[in-house]
Amino acid sequence: MSLLNLSLPELLALFSAVSGLMVTLYLLDRTRRRYTVSSLKFFTVSGHAPEARHRRRIQQPWSLLLQLLSMALLLLAIAQLRFGVRPRDGRRHILVLDTSAWMSAASPQSTPARPRELMDDAKAAARRWLATVPVEDPVMLVRAGATPTPVTPFDTDRDSIRRAIADSRPGAAVFSASRALQFALQTAGQDSAPTAEVVFAGAGRTRREDLPPADNAPSLRMLRVEGPSQHCGLRRVAVRRAPSDPDTWEVLAAARNYGPAPKTVLLAASFGGAVVGTRQLLLQPGSDQTASFTIHARNAGPLQVQLAPDDAFAADHRAVLDLSARSVAEIAVYSDEPDLLRPIFQSIPDVRAAFHPIAAWNGSDATPILVFDRFAPPRPPMANTIWIDPPATGSPAPVVSVAASTTLRRWYSGTQLGAGLRARDVSLANALIFRPAEDDIVVAEADAGPVIIARSTPRKTLVLGFHPLLSDLRYELAGPLLFANAVRWLAPESFRRQELSVSSVGAHDIDLEATLDPASISVASDDRQPVPWTLDGRTLRLFAANPGVIRIGTPDRSLSLSLTLPEPGDVIWSPRKAVYGLPPARLPVRAPRELWYWLALLGGVGLSLEWLLYARGSRRPTPVLSRMPARRASAWKKAS
Amino acid sequence: MSTTPIIDGAFLEKLERLALRWQKSFPGLVGGHNMSRLPGAGQEFLDHRNFHQGDDLRAVNWRAYLRLEKLFLKMFQVEPRVPVRLLLDASASMQLGAVTPKFEFARTLTAALAYVAMIRLDSLCVQPFDASLQESFLCSGGRHRFVHAVNFLTRVAVGGRTDYMAIAREFCSRYEQPGLLIVVSDFFDDSDCLRPLQFLADFGHELLLVHVWAEEDRSPGWEGQLEITDAETGRRLELTFDRESRQRYTEAFEGHARALAGIADRSGGRYVGLSTSTSVEDAVFGPLVRSQSIQ
């Protein structure tokens, strides 16, 4: 017999205080009560003479005894009285269950009729171990993939632990032994309980850099699940457009041999269902080998890279990427002299220009970029525009003056539009001099003032105060470069370099083309949710715990990171100081019987009984009118 | 002085149609509202009698003389202003009452009855009492005097013990003319209050006994060991009070009420028992109207 919540002295002290209070209240309740009445006339004929009893004497001993007994039972219920063997202080156990991607590999016991994964073996081992743990020992379940995640608190309820084990599934990340062990040791050291036991159930396949630095776990038990030893898989697939030919994709695939023996595998790439290339690779143990493919494709389609033959872990044998069609900037040029501008726009890659006479302008052209050559439409169009030498009255930028003869003195090469432009002292005849607004970008300046300005709102607009191909600029390289910069500024998405990559979940470092303003970088998941990232110089770092697609956008580059390749890990975690296997079976200890609810029930019944027998009739004022005999009441009222 | 009015205007409007009724015929000043069987100078014809020397010739029935050649005198019915006297118990026991103090109830009821008497042009006397008669309020009819009556009632001090015998003697010596005597009291007197009331009835007053009681006066809700104190005398009594005791108490109280009703019945008066748990308005338009004390 033992008390769980209170010690015996505490229980006795509490009971003494409560019983003293109860006796005091009891005596106070039974003292004579004083009232003032209108007359003693009728009391003298109705009441009994006071009984010759001492006021402080117990007048209803059974009532008091019942109250004290009920209160003692309630206090015992609060103290949680138990019958049975007093349990020792339970030892804590942290069960780390491997939920890495490798746990979805086929088990050696798997048969075609009954397929079985390594995860099933690990669950079975965990359940067997759980059956040997004393019932009073609390157990915490931690699922360990790339990061450890506690699933249950320290709990003695074995059913909830078993349910949590059964609900565990293999993830997509590699198992990190160092993080899992560090978490388990930190959790075990949070209180002064006896040294907790860390139990690992799983294959333990991890990366070499994720191995714990030393065997520092004082009490570690390994329930290792033996998996297949030989495995080859894809490590990474990267795709990008060839810089020389926008219609060509360059595919780079890396495969790795995770097994102990060399193996020859066949790597095949197919686009839209058609095989575009195969490579035979001889993979040495623990080494990577890459293969490249070139695909010519104008249209969009799925690219599949596959490794053959299959083995027990097939999740990293295949990678699929959706290649998009090339983006082309559509331009409509309204000019009565199209031959002047045609060579300019035809020389810019990824641009498709259509030429129309000025008379064909009707205000409803939906082309995203419009070029007006010495022409101003009556109403500004709802598109990005380039205005070449517009009439002074119809210019979108305010014209200060018209310079009959001036010299172009300066290019603002710090702006995107003026990047790389060097020509100076270019003579200009009849150039419009603009007055730039506060937000306008001045691209070029002559002696008399700005002659080329750009405006970003409400639509992107570039206004040239002179015709470049009718001035001395036509002999300079700055002429075509100015139009190339303009088109790139007006339609940047058409000039972004597209890259796609298939990799594993976890931490990723992406090298950027230059040191960029963080505001110009966007990192988001496939469902447009922002993904946290950091920028360290020219390296963008991010972490993804779940499989999916992450899109990274920079001013010149668009990278689609598909985190769908599982990573099995290179080495098996085998700590030397750990104890391997299940502990010896113990006789099950019978849990002590809980009595508190019966004690609470009996206490409540005792108090109710006391109230029914003694309190209800005597301590409550009786509603007298309802108890009056009807006949007498009516007779008395009749007199009135 | 309490700032809340002891009676509200809406209740007074309802009282306008009521009048105090009594069964006896009392002599009094002419000009009242109630009829009497006494002959005198009135408007209503009562009877004929033979003419005697010295009678007023204006009352001779000349039509009868022309027909019978004999002088007959017409007699008229007197409409007297009967003195209505309200005896208000202001003893210490009237201060008690869990729901409403009995004195508060009795004072409001007295004000209502005084208003009814005033609007019917009766002669009114409000006489508070405890062991003796206190200062009284006297007035003839007219509702304009009601304000003074209310002010008087507001000033009445409560306290002291009741001595009905002394009050009866003092009352009979102070008010010799019989009239309607309304006693508003809880009728708690250690000595017998029945004999003094009978004495007043024998003196010619018509009694209207308004018995005001609180619920705990009739049936105390306490049980167990009690130490009770008389509010008037300060005397203490220790007793064990239980359900049976309460039953005996209530029976004794009802016997006392029946005795009061018997006094009133025998002397041609009326008895009305009112609990303070009811409102004064309900008491007036309920038991008092049913007893035909007011109509």
pLDDT top residue among B196 and A634: B196
CB-based contact A230:A212 (threshold 8 Å): no
Nearest to B239 among A49, A624, A628 (CB): A49
Chain A residues lying within 8 Å of B229, measured CB to CB? 34-37
Q: What local confidence, expressed as pLDDT, does residue B243 receive?
A: 84
Same domain, yes or no, for B68 and B127?
no
Q: Is residue B152 part of a domain?
A: yes
Same domain, yes or no, for B241 and B152?
yes
Torsion sign across C-alpha atoms A544, A549, A555, A556? positive
Please report, for the domain that includes residue B189, its CATH number: 3.40.50.410
Q: Which of A194-203, A260-269, A284-293, A394-403 has the lowest mean pLDDT?
A: A194-203
What is the number of domains present in chain B? 2
Could you tell me which residues come within 8 angstroms of residue A514 by beta carbon, excluding any fewer than 6 positions away? A538
Same domain, yes or no, for B274 and B136?
yes
Same domain, yes or no, for B217 and B286?
yes
Match 């339609």 to its residue by tokens. Answer: A491
Q: Is the Cβ pair B224, A35 closer than 8 Å?
A: no
Same domain, yes or no, for B62 and B160?
no
Same domain, yes or no, for B136 and B68?
no
Separation between Cα atoms, residue A234 and residue A237, nearest integer Å = 8
A623 to chain B: nearest residue by CA?
B221
Q: Is the Cβ pair B230, A39 closer than 8 Å?
A: yes
Q: Is the Cβ pair A621, B190 closer than 8 Å?
A: no
- How big is the A-B interface in CB pairs under 8 Å? 149
CA terminus-to-terminus distance, chain A: 72
Q: Where are the beta strands (DSSP E) in B57-179?
A: 72-77, 80-81, 83-89, 123-129, 137-139
Q: Which of A605, A233, A628 is nearest to B219 (CA)?
A: A628
Same domain, yes or no, for B62 and B206?
no
Q: What local confidence, expressed as pLDDT, does residue A621 receive?
A: 41
- pLDDT, one tens digit per residue, over A214-229 is 666 678 899 988 888 8
Most B-contacting residue of A624, A625, A631 (CB-CB within 10 A), to test interface: A624
> Given CB atoms, is B253 within the 8 Å cutoff of chain A?
yes
Compute the mean pLDDT over every residue in chain A, rounded to the nearest whole number.
Answer: 84
Rounded mean pLDDT, A4-17: 84
Chain B residues lying within 8 Å of A635, measured CB to CB? 254, 258
Chain A residues lying within 8 Å of B228, measured CB to CB? 34-37, 40, 43
Rounded mean pLDDT, A235-259: 88
Same domain, yes or no, for B94 and B112?
yes
Q: Is residue B218 part of a domain?
A: yes
Separation between Cα atoms, residue A173 and residue A505, nearest integer Å = 6
For A52, B117, B194, B272, the CA distances from B291, given in Å and listed in that order, are 49, 17, 21, 7
Same domain, yes or no, for B184 and B251?
yes
Q: Is the Cβ pair B227, A632 closer than 8 Å?
A: no
DSSP per position, A581-606? SPPPP-PPPPPPEE-HHHHHHHHHHH
On the question of a common fold for A93-229 and A329-493, the answer reads yes
- Residue by residue, pLDDT tens for chain B (295 residues) are 445 678 888 899 999 888 888 877 676 655 555 655 666 666 777 788 888 888 888 889 999 999 998 999 988 876 667 788 999 999 999 998 888 899 999 999 999 999 998 887 778 899 999 989 999 999 887 888 899 999 999 999 998 888 999 999 999 999 888 888 999 999 988 788 899 999 999 988 889 999 999 988 988 888 877 888 999 888 888 888 888 888 889 999 999 999 999 999 998 899 999 999 999 999 999 999 998 888 8
> Given CB atoms, is B105 within the 8 Å cutoff of chain A?
no
User: At the topology level of CATH, where does A93-229 sit?
Assistant: Rossmann fold (3.40.50)
- Residues of A near B (Cβ–Cβ under 8 Å) read 30-51, 618-619, 621-625, 628, 632, 635-637, 639-640
Range of the domain at B208: 9-26+81-290
Separation between Cα atoms, residue A99 and residue A95, nearest integer Å = 12
Could you tell me which residues come within 8 angstroms of residue B176 by beta carbon, excluding any fewer than 6 positions away? none
CB-based contact A157:A121 (threshold 8 Å): no
Q: Is the Cβ pair B226, A628 closer than 8 Å?
A: no
Same domain, yes or no, for B187 and B251?
yes
Q: Is residue B85 part of a domain?
A: yes
Q: 3-class secondary structure for A237-299?
A: EEEEECCCCCCEEEEEEEEEECCCCCEEEEEEEEECCEEEEEEEEEECCCCEEEEEEEEECCC
How many Å lie between the alpha carbon of A626 and the closest alpha carbon of chain B? 11
Q: Is residue B146 part of a domain?
A: yes
Nearest to A34 among B227, B246, B272 (CB): B227
Chain B residues lying within 8 Å of A30, measured CB to CB? 224-225
Q: What local confidence, expressed as pLDDT, does residue A217 receive?
A: 65
- pLDDT, one tens digit per residue, over A566-587 is 888 888 888 888 888 888 766 5
Domain ranges of chain A: 2-34+55-86+596-623, 93-229, 232-317+496-563, 329-493
User: Which architecture characterizes domain A329-493 according to CATH?
Assistant: 3-Layer(aba) Sandwich (3.40)
Q: Is the Cβ pair B232, A39 closer than 8 Å?
A: yes
Q: Is residue B295 part of a domain?
A: no
Could you tell me which residues come within 8 angstroms of residue B4 by beta carbon, excluding any fewer than 6 positions away? none
Q: Is the Cβ pair A34, B235 closer than 8 Å?
A: no
Q: What local confidence, expressed as pLDDT, does residue B156 receive?
A: 92
> Given CB atoms, is B286 within the 8 Å cutoff of chain A?
no
pLDDT top residue among A524 and A5: A524
Nearest to A48 among B222, B240, B253 (CB): B240
Q: Is residue B269 part of a domain?
A: yes
Nearest to B219 among A31, A618, A625 (CB): A625
pTM of the full structure: 0.49
A442 membership: H or E segment, kind and range: strand A441-446
Same domain, yes or no, for B164 and B44?
no
Encoding tokens for residue A399?
Answer: 């014209």
Residue A631: is its pLDDT beyond 80? no
How many Å lie between the alpha carbon of A15 and the closest alpha carbon of chain B? 29
Residue A387: is its pLDDT beyond 90? yes
Chain B residues lying within 8 Å of A51, measured CB to CB? 225, 240
Q: Is residue B174 part of a domain?
A: yes
- pLDDT, one tens digit per residue, over A162-178 is 999 999 999 888 898 88
Could you tell me which residues come within 8 angstroms of residue A611 by beta carbon, excluding any fewer than 6 positions away? none
Q: Is residue B1 part of a domain?
A: no
Dmax (CA) of chain B: 88
What are the beta bridge partners of residue A291? A253
Same domain, yes or no, for B70 and B138?
no
Percent share of chain A, pLDDT over 70: 89
Encoding tokens for residue A344?
Answer: 């300019």
ipTM entry: 0.81
- pLDDT, one tens digit per residue, over A43-65 is 876 666 555 444 555 667 888 88
- pLDDT, one tens digit per residue, over A461-516 is 999 999 998 888 888 888 889 999 999 898 888 778 888 888 888 888 888 877 78
Q: Is the Cβ pair B224, A637 closer than 8 Å?
A: no
Separation between Cα atoms, residue A275 and residue A278, nearest integer Å = 8
